[in-house]
Structure 1
Amino acid sequence: MGEPIRYLLGLDVGNTVIKSVLFDLDGRAVAANAVDGHSATPEPGHVERDLDELWRNGSEAIGRCLADAGVDPRHIGAVGCSGHGNGLYLLDGDDRPLIGIQSIDTRAAALAEELAAERGDALHAVCLQRPWPSQTPVLLAWLRRHRPAALEQAETLLMCKDYLTFKLTGRKVSDVSDMSGAGLLRMPECRYDHELLALYGLDGLDRLLPPLIDPVDIVGGISASAAAQTGLAEGLPVIGGFFDVVASALGSGVVAPGAASVIVGTWSINQFISREPVVDRSLFMVSGFGRGRFVNMDNSATSAAHLEWYVREFVERGGHHDDPFGWCQQRVADVEPRLDDPYFHPFLYGSGRGPHARAGFYGLAGWHGEGHLLRALMEGVVFEHRRHVEVLRAAGATFGEATLSGGGARSALWPQMFADCLGVPIDVAEAEETGALGAALGAGVGVGIFDTYERAVSRMTRAHRRFEPTAAMTSHYDQRYATYRRLADALHDFWSEQQQRGTRGTNEGRGKE
């Protein structure tokens, strides 16, 4: 008779931090651990990670989580991984890492514009995406053009969470949610397609694509070596896992058709569930995660990573704040909102308006202080989420409320700002680590603890608090949002000039070696 199943383990691989969270079968976190990684910027616009470090951090996070929990590993039913989508992770013929490009990399901005102009409509007709800079196939095309020698060594393409699954099980696979989110699948069938690869200029590179499985399919069991490194039981089932935006939607309780999820994380993620994919060229992407299950999204790298950047560059210098994010929240709370407050465009890592967009504070006066700057930054993030939500609504999404998750949802101020600016009630998920929870409940479906996603979500997720919109503040944000949009329009030519100057100052055009 086997050991009773009492827990599920969820792993969430972000662009920097990897998190391991052990949940009971009611979705309560028993223990959690996070390990911060490092990114390298070898050239302007290039953002890469060391995959050996990723595995070290992952195994460390798992081991510490299990040690803190103090549970018998044999009582864990399964493991699920979620991870940031896109970027480019390649292994050579000996399964050694060749390159790990993250999803905030912008090296391929010019190539993305070129592909969009020449084949954007044709690509969208197949995969429901247009090219964008850190999209996996665009980065692969960039590598073929600028680093062909490196590409010749490549044997396998994986997504970031797939690499962790590979190190846990020894099997190299990917799932349909991640691969469709990367624009590498024909939609709505969610399958590989030779015509699609040819449109990207990737003829012959289907050899790199791993076997494709459903997110809740069992990949294999924990290997003996991974068990020794992590403390997990050998043979413990591991599922295919999820694109993190899908996992976060599930972990926040969003699973029914028409339900909306807003994720305030590294990326601004705005999405709704449907039984059929929405075919609309204005949408950023559609990801499939099972028969009759699609997540329709409009996203950009314009969210809470900007507050992290501000804290890292200006608040944590010298280590003089024990709670830097709390300190920032207090500075914002001390400010009385006014219509003539400063503005901020959250475009440090590009924008849905185009990769040429740049961040900036505008409208500063001598009486403004740091609280005004921080409020402008937080407001700018909300404004970009609103712009994406307007795209979703124009494409046919109808929702009268939304669930907020991601790091920004833990803010004392951001959820109310979202409710006021979007003009709908906002529920904040009880779970802080919704990506890990979504992966864990998917693992529960994979091993049969739950027979459907709906049953898993019903048991393991809950809303923590609801924020209702305030009429006066909704009017305030309506006026400022209109000005914010006009200001961005006026800066278009300036941003384009800056991009051209930056391109002339780099060696992107070299590298035919």
Structure 2
Amino acid sequence: MADHARYLLGLDAGNTVIKAVLFDLEGRQIATHAIDGATETPAPGMVERSVTELWDNARVAIRGCLEAGGCPPSAIAAIGMAGHGNGLYLLDRDDEALIGIQSLDTRAAALSGELDAARGDALHAICLQRPWPSQTPTLLAWLKANRPDLYARAGTLLFAKDVIGWHLTGKKASEISDMSGAGLLRLPEAAYDSELLALYGLDDAERLLPELVEPTSIVGTVTKAAAEATGLAEGTPVIAGYFDVVASALGSGAVGSGAASIIVGSWSINQVFSDVPVRDDRVFMVSAYGRNRFANMENSATSAANLEWYVRTFVERGGHHDDPFGFVNDAVGSVTPGREDPMFHPFLYGGRLGAHQRGGFFGLAGWHGEGHLLRALYEGVMFEHRRHIEVLAEAGVTFDRAALAGGGARSPHWPAMFADGLGVLVTVAQARETGALGAVIAASVGVGIHPDEAAAVASMTRPARTFAPDPHMRAHYDRRYEIWRRAIRAMDPVWRDLAASETDG
């Protein structure tokens, strides 16, 4: 690393937003620039994005961040990357963008059910994950069965962050946390496996898999063309990075066996780190982020994506609010929690128990207002996180404190609600962009600033707030949680009937 290099650049590619965030070597944020991309829904259950736009937005975000920070490009020691996992990003055989499917997509729901029934046990035995609708290999199998024209043209499979890395360096590579989080690696070895591909019905897909590297590996350096497109210095090292949920956990201060991270983002992410992976098929997935370092996860698309939908659909209508999320938080704060408050099921994009699950408010009365609805939404999201955490506990994975991250961690209400509803100590990191900070933690290790992730986390992360559970509110949420769970069981046949009617057309 050059003596004058005093910054690290983190890139965080979410399902829609791409962020470039500049940090100093101590992990303090200097500047950020974010670009919101377009989501396309060509048919019910299909959620796509332009792979070309992903890079276009990334280069604009990078240039904007450098300008905002007044940072000479030569002062950047390295670039780290993080990005949403799963979904499906394909280049064709000529390295042109082919298709981009986001991790909120449910088109493969029927196929994932068939795969799970026929080969779920065998798949889990290898990759510690059962098939599910937005899982990368399940989507690839769907493409093979339903769009053989696209499948035949496919040349390389990448993840969101890897697309950006390829444009920056000209190298097509991915790393073990994203690949294992997608059920594409044999665990605990974190290696490609031909038997695994065959179980997905993808025995001919090995040619699509890119070079596999460690998260802290240097993938390559910024090319001349990428430097001209972004404003970066040619030759700047680019580090592979992490599956964004692992990056966010590290960026929020969670590191080492037993550390817990809860991410309130588009997805509900509930993970506990360990030296040995949990072998229990009730647990959604295991991601390897290093040799003998694993994140055991219970996840679903049931978290703040529900709030984003509400804001987009109701709050932003006609531009009535200059600060829509500020309005939402004020509305939640205006309501005193009560026994007869309405409830919300956060299944707008399906749930962990099935793509047939649907969202909905229930228990509404004439005296309830928008604040009650929004508080119910916040509570319902927290309850589904709690249900996930109970699954982890049943598998022997427990914790008494957790680092809260994601957009929900910045809410004035959610952190305390999580502490009360889960009965654990909740910490919120000083860093706002924990995913990007996790990416530069990888970069700092990759170029030798720190010897490993533990040292980097200790040096570059700081807690800002801590929330202890309130026993009175804990009892309140315990009572309501049982009602909420009963309502899920009662609604399940209704949701299945609705899903069947949608299928029948």
- Shorter-normalised TM-score: what interval? over 0.9
The one-letter code matched in structure 2 to 1:413 is H
- What is the Cα deviation at residue 141 of structure 1? 0.5
Partner of 1:71: 71
- What is the Cα deviation at residue 393 of structure 1? 1.1
Aligned partners of 2:55, 2:410: CA distance in 1, in Å?
Answer: 28
Partner of 1:270: 270
The one-letter code matched in structure 1 to 2:408 is G
The one-letter code matched in structure 2 to 1:144 is K
The one-letter code matched in structure 2 to 1:267 is W
Partner of 2:373: 373
Given that 1:74 and 1:233 are in contact with CA atoms closer than 8 Å, whether structure 2 keeps it comes out as yes
Partner of 1:490: 490
The one-letter code matched in structure 2 to 1:487 is A
SS at match of 1:312: helix
Superposition map of 1:100-179 within 5 A: 100-179=100-179
Cα deviations by residue, 1:139-170 (Å, 9 ceiling, x for unpaired): 00000110001100001000111000001101
Partner of 2:184: 184
Given that 2:261 and 2:271 are in contact with CA atoms closer than 8 Å, whether structure 1 keeps it comes out as yes
- What is the Cα deviation at residue 398 of structure 1? 2.4
Superposition map of 1:495-506 within 5 A: 495-505=495-505
Aligned partners of 1:371, 1:423: CA distance in 2, in Å?
Answer: 24
- What is the Cα deviation at residue 411 of structure 1? 0.1
Cα deviations by residue, 1:245-283 (Å, 9 ceiling, x for unpaired): 010011011111101000000000000110010111100
Partner of 1:509: none
Cα deviations by residue, 1:385-426 (Å, 9 ceiling, x for unpaired): 000111111111121111100000000000000000000110
Partner of 1:341: 341
Superposition map of 1:55-70 within 5 A: 55-70=55-70
Aligned partners of 1:318, 1:221: CA distance in 2, in Å?
Answer: 46
Aligned partners of 1:79, 1:347: CA distance in 2, in Å?
Answer: 36
SS at match of 1:124: helix
Aligned partners of 2:256, 2:212: CA distance in 1, in Å?
Answer: 25
- Range moving further from structure 2, 330-339 or 186-195: 330-339
Q: What CA RMSD, in Å, does the superposition of the two structures yield over aligned residues?
A: 0.8
Aligned partners of 1:164, 1:220: CA distance in 2, in Å?
Answer: 12
Partner of 1:443: 443
The one-letter code matched in structure 1 to 2:248 is S
The one-letter code matched in structure 1 to 2:172 is K
- Normalising to structure 1: TM-score of the pair? 0.98
SS at match of 1:149: helix
Asked if 1:219 corresponds to 2:240, the answer is no
SS at match of 1:246: helix
The one-letter code matched in structure 2 to 1:164 is I
The unaligned stretches of length 5 or more in structure 2 are none
The one-letter code matched in structure 1 to 2:402 is A
Aligned partners of 1:256, 1:441: CA distance in 2, in Å?
Answer: 14
SS at match of 2:382: helix
- Normalising to structure 2: TM-score of the pair? 0.99
- What is the Cα deviation at residue 377 of structure 1? 0.4
- Range moving further from structure 2, 69-78 or 175-184: 69-78
The one-letter code matched in structure 2 to 1:408 is G
Aligned partners of 1:3, 1:204: CA distance in 2, in Å?
Answer: 48
Given that 2:2 and 2:77 are in contact with CA atoms closer than 8 Å, whether structure 1 keeps it comes out as no
Aligned partners of 2:103, 2:27: CA distance in 1, in Å?
Answer: 29
- What is the Cα deviation at residue 182 of structure 1? 0.2
Aligned partners of 2:225, 2:266: CA distance in 1, in Å?
Answer: 32
- What is the Cα deviation at residue 5 of structure 1? 2.1
Aligned partners of 1:207, 1:73: CA distance in 2, in Å?
Answer: 36
SS at match of 2:300: coil
The one-letter code matched in structure 1 to 2:240 is G
SS at match of 1:5: coil
The unaligned stretches of length 5 or more in structure 1 are 506-513
In the alignment of these two chains, the number of paired residues is: 505
Asked if 1:405 corresponds to 2:405, the answer is yes
Asked if 1:42 corresponds to 2:80, the answer is no
Indicate the percent of aligned positions where both proteins have the same amino acid.
63
SS at match of 1:299: strand
SS at match of 1:118: helix
Aligned partners of 1:145, 1:101: CA distance in 2, in Å?
Answer: 16
Aligned partners of 1:331, 1:301: CA distance in 2, in Å?
Answer: 24
- What is the Cα deviation at residue 3 of structure 1? 4.3
SS at match of 1:212: strand
SS at match of 2:428: strand
Given that 1:3 and 1:74 are in contact with CA atoms closer than 8 Å, whether structure 2 keeps it comes out as no
- What is the Cα deviation at residue 98 of structure 1? 0.6
Aligned partners of 1:214, 1:504: CA distance in 2, in Å?
Answer: 46
Partner of 1:351: 351
Aligned partners of 2:446, 2:458: CA distance in 1, in Å?
Answer: 16
The one-letter code matched in structure 1 to 2:294 is F
Partner of 1:85: 85
Partner of 2:19: 19
Aligned partners of 2:92, 2:281: CA distance in 1, in Å?
Answer: 36
- What is the Cα deviation at residue 502 of structure 1? 1.1
Given that 2:300 and 2:351 are in contact with CA atoms closer than 8 Å, whether structure 1 keeps it comes out as yes
Partner of 2:284: 284
SS at match of 1:298: strand
Aligned partners of 1:449, 1:455: CA distance in 2, in Å?
Answer: 10
Aligned partners of 1:136, 1:125: CA distance in 2, in Å?
Answer: 18
Cα deviations by residue, 1:65-94 (Å, 9 ceiling, x for unpaired): 000111221111100110000000111111
Aligned partners of 2:348, 2:264: CA distance in 1, in Å?
Answer: 16
